[in-house]
Chains A and B, each alone.
Chain A
Amino acid sequence: MDNNDFSQRSEGMQQVAELQNGEWNKLSPISIIYFTVRSIVDLANTFFYLIPVLALNFNKIKEQPLIIVVVASCILALFIIMGVLNYWFYRFRVGSDRIEIKQGVFKKSHIDLPFERIQNVKLSQPLYYRINDYSCIELDTAGSAKQEAKIVALKTDLAKQFRIKILETATEETSDDALASSVGSSNASNEIMLNRRSMRDLVIHGLTNNRIWIFLGALAPFYNAISDFLSQFFESIGFDAEVYFSLETQAWWEFGLHVLSVAMLIMLVIVSLSVVGAILMFYKYTLSKTQNRYIRRSGLLTKHEVSMKLSRIQIMVQAQDWLDVLLGRVNLSFEQNTSGVANASKAGEQMSNKLLVPSVTIEESLALMKDAMPSQTMGEQLFKPISKRYILRGLLFFAVPVGIFLFVAIFRDDLVVATTVSFSTVVLIGVILVIRWKRWGYSYDQEYFYLRKGFLGVNYYCFPLYKVQQAQFKQSIFIRPYQLASLKIVLASGAKLIPYMPANEVRNIINSILDQLVIDKRSWM
């Protein structure tokens, strides 16, 4: 590292030290923008269902443009006032080992958070903070606290130093060795780049994974307007949908071709939107590693930075959709505990209990997994199948009842149709069951359990046995005669059920997990 960098760093440390003077600090006024935007978003979320009403009355409103301007500016002014008030009442104080935040205009809250309870520190930089380089720091707590701890505006370099400071304090508690922590602090900024995603990778990710929800959610209120516009557009270019899709005026293959081409067109639009969504989310994706953490940075408009402690990873998931299988790509994610994390309920990729590496190749994914858990051998596992009775169960308890129901429902009208429909339904469900059965597979060694499952796509899971929270041996009287049983393993990141394994094997796995926990006293965190 060159000198310049070092001096900046020490300057940052000094600033952090200044922050820790035990005084109540105010935020930079730029946070007014943040609070304003947030209250607008909150309101939009709450009154989302009112938007169609507004859209319906749009024509009436259109006649009096002045009223809209007045109302809109009043609402905007209200939001800005709320933003200013929020800013005015926001105070934070940093002590040597804890941070306190007081906030709220009407509903006041006071958060007192010791550093060692902080599980994760997330930096995010919305677009409007980029002008003068501010960032939000979001602090995730382990435990049942549902409160959101967020320092809304700090200079980005200060925020970064502050994060290092918090994480060091948090690790000192676990590694009581003073030497180790001092080594940690000098290494903390020495990041190793593990993976970066190019634009090409993101395009592939957009193609294979449906990231369109990012748009569909935002576009929902305008569906009517869009369809109106489209029908007018088609009329104006002289396109008659009724003739285009009529079976009477054209041959069946012509009709099929038309349907196909429209479907292709829609697919094209969806896919390109999905690609844009992927780029919005994962632009300039980098995954880097410090001494004991993974850090993910990405984002086009709002930059996100998520870090996860390596030891907190509970399970590694290699997810492949059917298109991923064809292209040989994998979405690798590292999952940590979900219970009690304040932000666990947030949807999508923002979720901080997951660290996703989008659309890597299989080799890259295996290398990353090796890096996270060196002794694991996912690549060399031969998966054992589960019992074929899994298919039989599905047929008996699902396919046949559905078939009988359909038969009885249609029987009155037409015997032939009823027979064909119910028979083909049973066959279809049977095929699905066979494919699912083929995807199921498990394997284990001394330290790890490997699991494969899926339908059209395929997911691979790998978790260390010592992180198991609870194990269950499940056996119904229908499978007991055949010496089968299901294994349910509860991890801090969720439960995994492997159905219809040989009962002996389930017992052996449970016994070896329990025996290992007798000797192995490592923490799951």
Chain B
Amino acid sequence: MVPNSTMVNSTVVLRAYKDGLHLIIKPHLSIAEVEVAIQQEISRMNRSLAGATVQIDLKSPTLNDEEIDYLRSKLRENYDLIVRGVDLGDDSASPPIAAAPTTHTISQRADVPSTREGEPSRVVPYTIRSGQIEEFPQGSLIIYGDVNSGGEVRAGGDIVVLGTLRGSARAGTNGRLSAVIIAMDFAPLQLQIGNCVNRSTANQESRGYPEIARIGEENVIIIEKFVKF
């Protein structure tokens, strides 16, 4: 299992990919079930999605055109979401929601910010303790403190911890796969960049020097000594 928060409700999943938001709907669901699941999934987001565009990915064509039109108008009315396309999921290109044991990647999609230029950032002047979550989907997070075991930081862009990273860090949630995670002391429980989740090389002891995690060859998260950008 990918220990990703978006796996909580697996019938309908909202995910950010390189080309924007995707609403992934599992097959064999009635339109009523889909509606309820969408409501749940969107209510879990603590930020407004108003005005965003979304692509609907169906794993197989189980909803008919009428039902899709109905969904389109519902998304518009209830959440101010604009449907920019519907992928009927003819098996040739099934959307990636399956989980791999340790490192899980998705196929990269086009036109997502590839650099951090113009991305806003937020400074957090305190330590993130167990049970606390610090989130900044719009850009990068800079933590003046530690991220303790049981705590979590999530950023659309990069994450920089000017202390010890002992908890979980999820960078690049806006889909930018060049996002990095930097910590002065690197001992995380779990790392995620874009949709690459890493547990095996994480959980390491602090080495006593700053380290950086980024996506390397074959979409595997690599951690190395941080020298400079």
A binds B: no
Q: Which residues of B contact A (CB under 8 A)?
A: none
